[in-house]
Amino acid sequence: MNYGNKFVFFSKVTEVNPCVCDGHGESHNWTKQSIFWELPYWKTNLVRHNLDVMHVEKNVFDNVFNTVMDIKDKTKDNVKARMDLKEYCKRRDLELQVQPSGKILKPTAKFVLSSEQKNIVYKWISELQMPDGYASNLHRCVNLDQRKLFGMKSHDCHVLMEMLLPIAFRALPYQVWNPIAELSKFFKDLCSTILRVDNLLLMEKNIIITTCKLERIFPPGFFNSMEHFPIHLPYEARVGGHAQYRWMYPFER
C-alpha cells in the first residue's frame, strides 16, 4: 500500500455522534462494529480484549479499603447506600433510624473498624519497612492526623491488596475478614508467576462464593462493575496466560 499520499486515503476525523441504534442500553450496548473485525483472523481469536487486572485490582482495593476504613466522602457505605438498603435487603440493623429529636442515626456497620483500630492500622502502615524497590515509601502516603492514604500508586495498591490487607483488617469479625482475605488471596494467586490450569478452575469456582459472601456483608451500593470482574479474570488467565503479560504496568511506566 502506498503510504506516500495517505492524506488522500484516510477519511478525516469528523465530529459524528456514535450511532445509537435501537435498544441501546436496554437489550445491548453495541455502539459500532470495531475496526479489529477487519482482521481476517480476529473472529477465531479466543480472547480479543483483556480485562486489565491492574485496574480491577486497584479499584476493588480502593472500594474495600475506603469502605472498611469509613473514609468520609469516599466510602461506599454512605447515607444513600443505607437508604437503598431498606429497599433491597433484609438488614434491620443497618437501616437508618430516625430519632425522636428528628436527627437521622446511621448505625455503625460491623464491617467498619473503630476509631482506635483505624489509628492502629494507619500507624502500622506508616511504620512498615519494605524491601528496597518493592513498594514506594508508604510512610509518605499516610496522613496520621486526617487518617487518610494519599498519593498511592497502583503498584502500592497491588502490594497492599495482596500482602497487607488480611493482616491490616485482622480486627474485623471473622465473617467479614474471611471474604476480604479470600479476595486478597485470589489476586495473589492470579498474579503468581506459575499458574496451573486446575488451580485456575478451582479459583473460578471459589471467587464466585467469595463474591457472594461479600454480597452478604456490604450494602448494594458497594457493588459496582469492578466488583463483578474478578469473576471473569480466572477464565481469561486460563485462556490467555499470565496476568503479567496481559496487564498495563509495563505500559504505564
Partner 1 sequence: MCHPSDGEAWKHFDKMYPEFAVEPRNVRLALCSDGFSPFNNSTTPYSCWPVIVTPYNLPPELCMTTSFMFLTLIIPGPHNPKGKIDVYLQPLIDELKQLWNGVLTYDISRKQNFIMKATLMWTINDFPVYGMLLGWSTSGRLACPYCMNQSKPFRLKMGGKVSWFDVHRQFLPMDHSFRRNKDAFYKNQNENSQPPHFLTRNELWEQICFFFKSN
Q: What residues numbered 7-26 form the site for partner 1, per CB under 8 A?
A: 10-11, 13, 16, 18-19, 21, 24-25
Nearest CB to partner 1, comparing residues 74 and 240: 240
DSSP string covering 189-216: HHTSSS--HHHHHHHHHHHHHHHHHHHH
CB 159 within 8 A of CB 96: no
- Residues from 167 through 196 that contact partner 1 (CB under 8 A): 193-196
Stretch that binds partner 1, among 39-47, 98-106, 111-119, 156-164 (CB under 8 A): 39-47
Go through the chain and tell me how many residues it has: 253
Nearest CB to partner 1, comparing residues 147 and 155: 155
| Strand, coil or helix: 105 | strand
Contact letters for partner 1, residues 123-162 (x by CB under 8 A): ----------------------------------------
Q: Considering the complex, what minimum distance in angstroms separates the CB of residue 99 from partner 1?
A: 20
Contact letters for partner 1, residues 57-96 (x by CB under 8 A): -----------------------xx-xx--xxxx------
Q: Judged by CB under 8 A, which of 5, 49, 98, 129 binds partner 1? A: 49
Nearest Cα to Cα of residue 127 among 138, 143, 141: 138
Residue 1 binds to partner 1 (criterion: CB under 8 A): yes
CA dihedral of residues 161, 162, 166, 167 (deg, nearest 10): -100
- Residues from 192 through 251 that contact partner 1 (CB under 8 A): 193-197, 208-209, 211-212, 215-216, 219-225, 227-229, 231-232, 235, 238-242, 244-248, 250-251
Distance CA 187, CA 10 (A): 43
Cβ-based neighbours of 165, under 8 Å, separated by 6 or more = 61, 64, 65, 180, 181, 184
Nearest CB to partner 1, comparing residues 168 and 184: 184
Nearest CB to partner 1, comparing residues 47 and 130: 47
Residue 103 binds to partner 1 (criterion: CB under 8 A): no
Reading the block at residue 79, the C-alpha cell is 447515607
Nearest CB to partner 1, comparing residues 167 and 239: 239
Side chain identity at residue 191, one-letter code: C
Nearest CB to partner 1, comparing residues 148 and 242: 242
Nearest Cα to Cα of residue 247 among 203, 207, 200, 187: 187
Apex 205 CA angle, 200 and 206, nearest 5: 90
